Amino acid sequence: MLDPPRTGAGKAVAGALTRLAPAQIVYVACDPVAFARDTAYLAEGGYRLDALRAFDLFPHTHHLESVGRFVKD
């Protein structure tokens, strides 16, 4: 389970996770741009986005929480 700050996990954290090679990674994100960037980092490490859900936890704002599941290819 990964729930990074708004800035995302970043390349170093994504790299460390992929080296640990868990069967799946569940990523909770509050910024879609950071999530997209980290998705690319995880893909470089051999993971693919298997599922994605968005939740409007802050009605009447532009903030959305996303939960993605990444699986090892």
- The residues near 41 (Cβ < 8 Å, ≥ 6 apart) are 9, 10, 11, 14, 15
pLDDT of 63: 83
Domain count, the chain: 1
Active site residue 30: yes
- Catalytic annotation, pick one of 9, 25, 29, 30: 30
pLDDT at 2: 95
Q: Quick check: is 31 in a domain?
A: yes
State pLDDT tens for residues 9-60.
999 999 999 999 999 999 999 988 999 999 999 999 999 999 999 999 989 9
Domain assignment present for 4:
no
Give yes or no for residue 68 having a pLDDT over 90.
Answer: yes
Structural domain range at position 56: 10-72
Asked if the structure places residue 1 within a domain, the reply is no
pTM: 0.91
50 within a domain of the structure (yes/no): yes
Which pLDDT belongs to residue 52? 98
